[in-house]
Protein backbone atom coordinates (compact mmCIF):
# COMPACT_ATOMS: atom_id res chain seq x y z
CA UNK A 1 0.00 0.00 0.00
CA UNK A 2 1.49 3.42 -0.91
CA UNK A 3 2.35 5.62 2.05
CA UNK A 4 0.24 8.64 2.87
CA UNK A 5 3.10 10.98 1.85
CA UNK A 6 4.30 8.99 -1.16
CA UNK A 7 6.25 11.17 -3.65
CA UNK A 8 6.09 14.19 -1.33
CA UNK A 9 8.88 16.11 0.33
CA UNK A 10 8.85 17.61 3.80
CA UNK A 11 10.95 20.01 5.82
CA UNK A 12 10.73 19.64 9.61
CA UNK A 13 12.27 22.12 12.04
CA UNK A 14 13.37 21.02 15.50
CA UNK A 15 13.88 17.58 13.94
CA UNK A 16 16.73 16.60 16.25
CA UNK A 17 14.49 15.71 19.20
CA UNK A 18 10.97 15.08 20.47
CA UNK A 19 8.04 15.80 18.13
CA UNK A 20 10.28 16.78 15.21
CA UNK A 21 12.31 13.57 15.37
CA UNK A 22 9.23 11.33 15.62
CA UNK A 23 7.60 13.24 12.75
CA UNK A 24 10.66 12.80 10.54
CA UNK A 25 10.63 9.05 11.21
CA UNK A 26 6.89 8.80 10.57
CA UNK A 27 6.75 11.04 7.48
CA UNK A 28 9.63 9.06 5.93
CA UNK A 29 7.93 5.75 6.77
CA UNK A 30 4.89 7.11 4.89
CA UNK A 31 7.03 7.78 1.80
CA UNK A 32 8.21 11.41 2.14
CA UNK A 33 11.71 12.67 1.48
CA UNK A 34 12.65 14.65 4.58
CA UNK A 35 14.98 17.52 5.40
CA UNK A 36 15.68 17.52 9.13
CA UNK A 37 16.45 21.06 10.28
CA UNK A 38 17.77 21.91 13.73
CA UNK A 39 20.02 24.48 15.37
CA UNK A 40 21.80 21.45 16.86
CA UNK A 41 23.43 19.94 13.78
CA UNK A 42 24.73 16.84 15.57
CA UNK A 43 21.19 16.00 16.73
CA UNK A 44 19.78 16.56 13.22
CA UNK A 45 22.49 14.33 11.71
CA UNK A 46 21.81 11.58 14.26
CA UNK A 47 18.11 11.80 13.48
CA UNK A 48 18.73 11.73 9.70
CA UNK A 49 20.86 8.56 10.09
CA UNK A 50 18.02 6.92 12.03
CA UNK A 51 15.51 7.88 9.34
CA UNK A 52 17.80 6.51 6.61
CA UNK A 53 18.20 3.21 8.51
CA UNK A 54 14.47 2.74 9.02
CA UNK A 55 13.27 4.09 5.64
CA UNK A 56 16.02 3.36 3.11
CA UNK A 57 13.67 4.06 0.18
CA UNK A 58 13.48 7.82 0.79
CA UNK A 59 16.04 10.60 0.96
CA UNK A 60 16.83 12.02 4.41
CA UNK A 61 19.26 14.86 5.01
CA UNK A 62 20.23 17.10 7.93
CA UNK A 63 20.57 20.87 7.78
CA UNK A 64 21.70 23.36 10.42
CA UNK A 65 19.52 26.44 10.84
CA UNK A 66 18.42 28.69 13.66
CA UNK A 67 14.76 29.36 12.82
CA UNK A 68 14.91 32.82 14.36
CA UNK A 69 17.28 33.90 11.54
CA UNK A 70 15.53 34.70 8.27
CA UNK A 71 18.53 33.91 6.04
CA UNK A 72 19.00 30.50 7.67
CA UNK A 73 15.34 29.52 7.21
CA UNK A 74 15.45 30.64 3.58
CA UNK A 75 18.61 28.56 3.08
CA UNK A 76 16.88 25.52 4.61
CA UNK A 77 13.87 25.81 2.29
CA UNK A 78 16.19 26.35 -0.71
CA UNK A 79 18.07 23.20 0.30
CA UNK A 80 14.86 21.14 0.45
CA UNK A 81 13.86 22.32 -3.03
CA UNK A 82 17.38 21.71 -4.37
CA UNK A 83 17.45 18.16 -2.96
CA UNK A 84 13.89 17.03 -3.63
CA UNK A 85 12.71 19.28 -6.49
CA UNK A 86 9.71 20.63 -4.60
CA UNK A 87 8.40 21.27 -1.08
CA UNK A 88 5.00 19.79 -0.22
CA UNK A 89 5.03 19.87 3.59
CA UNK A 90 6.55 22.41 5.96
CA UNK A 91 6.40 21.55 9.66
CA UNK A 92 7.39 24.66 11.66
CA UNK A 93 7.90 22.81 14.91
CA UNK A 94 11.08 24.13 16.58
CA UNK A 95 10.35 25.89 19.86
CA UNK A 96 11.84 26.75 23.22
CA UNK A 97 10.51 27.27 26.72
CA UNK A 98 12.74 29.19 29.04
CA UNK A 99 13.07 27.51 32.44
CA UNK A 100 13.26 30.88 34.23
CA UNK A 101 10.47 32.22 36.43
CA UNK A 102 8.72 33.73 33.43
CA UNK A 103 5.84 35.83 34.76
CA UNK A 104 4.72 39.40 34.09
CA UNK A 105 6.60 40.79 37.08
CA UNK A 106 9.89 38.89 36.90
CA UNK A 107 10.53 37.98 33.33
CA UNK A 108 13.46 39.64 31.62
CA UNK A 109 13.13 41.40 28.29
CA UNK A 110 15.87 39.23 26.78
CA UNK A 111 13.91 36.06 27.64
CA UNK A 112 10.74 37.54 26.11
CA UNK A 113 12.64 38.55 22.96
CA UNK A 114 14.41 35.20 22.58
CA UNK A 115 11.19 33.22 23.07
CA UNK A 116 9.31 35.36 20.56
CA UNK A 117 12.21 35.19 18.08
CA UNK A 118 12.27 31.37 18.02
CA UNK A 119 8.62 30.44 18.67
CA UNK A 120 6.87 33.17 16.67
CA UNK A 121 9.25 34.89 14.27
CA UNK A 122 10.74 31.49 13.39
CA UNK A 123 7.27 30.28 12.37
CA UNK A 124 6.73 33.43 10.32
CA UNK A 125 10.00 32.89 8.39
CA UNK A 126 9.10 29.24 7.90
CA UNK A 127 5.66 30.14 6.52
CA UNK A 128 7.06 32.89 4.30
CA UNK A 129 9.64 30.75 2.52
CA UNK A 130 7.43 27.66 2.39
CA UNK A 131 4.63 29.67 0.77
CA UNK A 132 7.06 31.02 -1.84
CA UNK A 133 8.36 27.51 -2.56
CA UNK A 134 4.88 25.94 -2.66
CA UNK A 135 3.61 28.61 -5.05
CA UNK A 136 6.27 27.48 -7.48
CA UNK A 137 5.26 23.81 -7.26
CA UNK A 138 4.44 22.57 -10.73
CA UNK A 139 1.28 20.50 -11.10
CA UNK A 140 2.33 16.89 -11.39
CA UNK A 141 -0.58 15.08 -12.99
CA UNK A 142 1.44 11.88 -13.50
CA UNK A 143 1.97 11.52 -9.76
CA UNK A 144 -1.47 12.85 -8.93
CA UNK A 145 -0.04 15.79 -6.95
CA UNK A 146 -1.76 19.16 -6.93
CA UNK A 147 0.04 22.44 -6.66
CA UNK A 148 0.21 24.05 -3.24
CA UNK A 149 1.12 22.25 -0.03
CA UNK A 150 0.52 21.86 3.68
CA UNK A 151 2.12 23.98 6.39
CA UNK A 152 1.82 22.88 10.02
CA UNK A 153 2.79 25.18 12.87
CA UNK A 154 3.33 23.85 16.38
CA UNK A 155 1.46 25.87 18.99
CA UNK A 156 0.50 24.39 22.38
CA UNK A 157 -2.41 23.78 24.73
CA UNK A 158 -1.26 26.93 26.56
CA UNK A 159 -2.29 28.92 23.47
CA UNK A 160 -5.88 28.06 24.43
CA UNK A 161 -5.78 27.92 28.24
CA UNK A 162 -3.97 29.95 30.86
CA UNK A 163 -1.20 27.95 32.53
CA UNK A 164 -0.92 28.36 36.29
CA UNK A 165 2.83 27.69 36.10
CA UNK A 166 4.39 30.96 34.93
CA UNK A 167 5.58 30.81 31.33
CA UNK A 168 4.36 34.15 30.07
CA UNK A 169 6.50 34.68 26.98
CA UNK A 170 5.99 31.06 25.89
CA UNK A 171 2.21 31.27 26.28
CA UNK A 172 2.03 34.59 24.43
CA UNK A 173 4.21 33.28 21.60
CA UNK A 174 2.03 30.20 21.12
CA UNK A 175 -1.21 32.21 21.17
CA UNK A 176 0.25 34.38 18.43
CA UNK A 177 1.12 31.27 16.38
CA UNK A 178 -2.58 30.34 16.36
CA UNK A 179 -3.65 33.83 15.28
CA UNK A 180 -0.99 34.11 12.59
CA UNK A 181 -1.74 30.65 11.21
CA UNK A 182 -5.47 31.38 10.90
CA UNK A 183 -4.80 34.59 8.99
CA UNK A 184 -2.25 33.03 6.63
CA UNK A 185 -4.66 30.14 6.03
CA UNK A 186 -7.32 32.56 4.84
CA UNK A 187 -4.94 34.59 2.68
CA UNK A 188 -3.46 31.56 0.89
CA UNK A 189 -6.45 29.19 0.74
CA UNK A 190 -7.15 29.86 -2.94
CA UNK A 191 -3.58 28.99 -3.86
CA UNK A 192 -4.09 25.46 -2.52
CA UNK A 193 -1.75 26.12 0.39
CA UNK A 194 -3.24 24.84 3.65
CA UNK A 195 -2.01 26.09 7.01
CA UNK A 196 -3.00 24.51 10.33
CA UNK A 197 -1.73 24.75 13.88
CA UNK A 198 -1.22 21.68 16.01
CA UNK A 199 -1.70 22.09 19.77
CA UNK A 200 0.09 19.38 21.74
CA UNK A 201 -0.74 18.69 25.37
CA UNK A 202 2.03 18.15 27.95
CA UNK A 203 4.54 15.60 26.64
CA UNK A 204 7.34 13.46 27.93
CA UNK A 205 10.00 15.31 25.89
CA UNK A 206 13.11 17.18 27.08
CA UNK A 207 11.35 20.54 26.59
CA UNK A 208 8.71 19.91 29.29
CA UNK A 209 10.65 17.49 31.50
CA UNK A 210 13.44 20.08 31.89
CA UNK A 211 10.80 22.61 32.93
CA UNK A 212 8.96 20.26 35.33
CA UNK A 213 12.28 19.21 36.80
CA UNK A 214 11.12 17.57 40.05
CA UNK A 215 8.82 14.62 40.72
CA UNK A 216 6.57 16.94 42.73
CA UNK A 217 6.10 19.36 39.80
CA UNK A 218 5.33 16.47 37.45
CA UNK A 219 2.82 14.94 39.86
CA UNK A 220 1.10 18.31 40.24
CA UNK A 221 0.74 18.65 36.45
CA UNK A 222 -0.53 15.05 36.12
CA UNK A 223 -3.52 15.83 38.37
CA UNK A 224 -4.87 18.07 35.59
CA UNK A 225 -4.50 15.56 32.76
CA UNK A 226 -7.76 13.70 32.04
CA UNK A 227 -5.88 10.60 30.83
CA UNK A 228 -3.59 10.67 33.86
CA UNK A 229 -0.41 10.58 31.78
CA UNK A 230 1.89 12.78 29.72
CA UNK A 231 1.66 12.37 25.94
CA UNK A 232 4.32 10.82 23.76
CA UNK A 233 5.97 12.72 20.89
CA UNK A 234 4.82 10.04 18.43
CA UNK A 235 1.19 10.81 19.31
CA UNK A 236 1.70 14.39 18.10
CA UNK A 237 3.61 13.18 15.03
CA UNK A 238 0.55 11.11 14.06
CA UNK A 239 -1.60 14.27 14.22
CA UNK A 240 0.98 16.15 12.15
CA UNK A 241 0.96 13.33 9.57
CA UNK A 242 -2.81 13.72 9.20
CA UNK A 243 -2.43 17.48 8.63
CA UNK A 244 0.48 16.93 6.23
CA UNK A 245 -1.33 14.36 4.11
CA UNK A 246 -4.23 14.70 1.69
CA UNK A 247 -6.41 13.00 4.35
CA UNK A 248 -6.94 16.55 5.70
CA UNK A 249 -7.49 18.13 2.25
CA UNK A 250 -10.53 20.15 3.39
CA UNK A 251 -8.89 21.49 6.55
CA UNK A 252 -7.18 24.84 6.82
CA UNK A 253 -6.92 27.44 9.59
CA UNK A 254 -7.67 24.94 12.36
CA UNK A 255 -6.23 24.71 15.89
CA UNK A 256 -5.79 20.92 15.85
CA UNK A 257 -5.64 19.70 19.44
CA UNK A 258 -3.74 16.54 20.36
CA UNK A 259 -3.81 17.01 24.10
CA UNK A 260 -5.36 14.00 25.85
CA UNK A 261 -8.52 16.02 26.46
CA UNK A 262 -6.78 18.70 28.52
CA UNK A 263 -8.33 21.74 26.84
CA UNK A 264 -11.84 20.28 27.12
CA UNK A 265 -11.79 19.54 30.83
CA UNK A 266 -12.38 21.45 34.00
Per CB under 6 A, residues contacting ligand NAD are 13-14, 16-20, 38-40, 43, 66-68, 93-97, 118, 154, 156, 200, 202-203, 205-208, 233
C-beta of 3 vs 202, nearer to ligand NAD: 202
Asked if residues 35 and 79 have their Cβ atoms less than 8 Å apart, the reply is yes
φ/ψ (deg, to 5) at 197: -95, 150
C-beta of 37 vs 145, nearer to ligand NAD: 37
Asked if residues 149 and 106 have their Cβ atoms less than 8 Å apart, the reply is no
CB of 48 to ligand NAD, least distance (A): 13
C-beta of 90 vs 203, nearer to ligand NAD: 203
CA separation (Å) from 29 to 44, 62, 77, 97? 17, 17, 21, 29
Q: Is 205 left (phi over 0), alpha (psi -120 to 50) or beta?
A: beta
CB of 153 to ligand NAD, least distance (A): 9
Q: Is 121 left (phi over 0), alpha (psi -120 to 50) or beta?
A: alpha
| Catalytic-residue membership of 170 | yes
CB of 141 to ligand NAD, least distance (A): 36
C-beta of 150 vs 154, nearer to ligand NAD: 154
Residues near 68 by beta carbon (within 8 Å), at least 6 away in sequence: 114, 117, 118, 121, 122, 125
CB of 5 to ligand NAD, least distance (A): 20
Q: Which residues are catalytic?
A: 170
Amino acid sequence: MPGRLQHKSALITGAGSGIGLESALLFAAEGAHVLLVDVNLAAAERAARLVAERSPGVQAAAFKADVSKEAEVKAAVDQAVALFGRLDVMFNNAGIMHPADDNALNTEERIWDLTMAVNLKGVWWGCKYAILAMRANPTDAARGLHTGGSIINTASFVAIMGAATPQLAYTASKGAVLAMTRELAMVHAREGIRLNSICPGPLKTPLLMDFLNTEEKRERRLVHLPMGRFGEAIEIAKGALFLASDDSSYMTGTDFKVDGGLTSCY
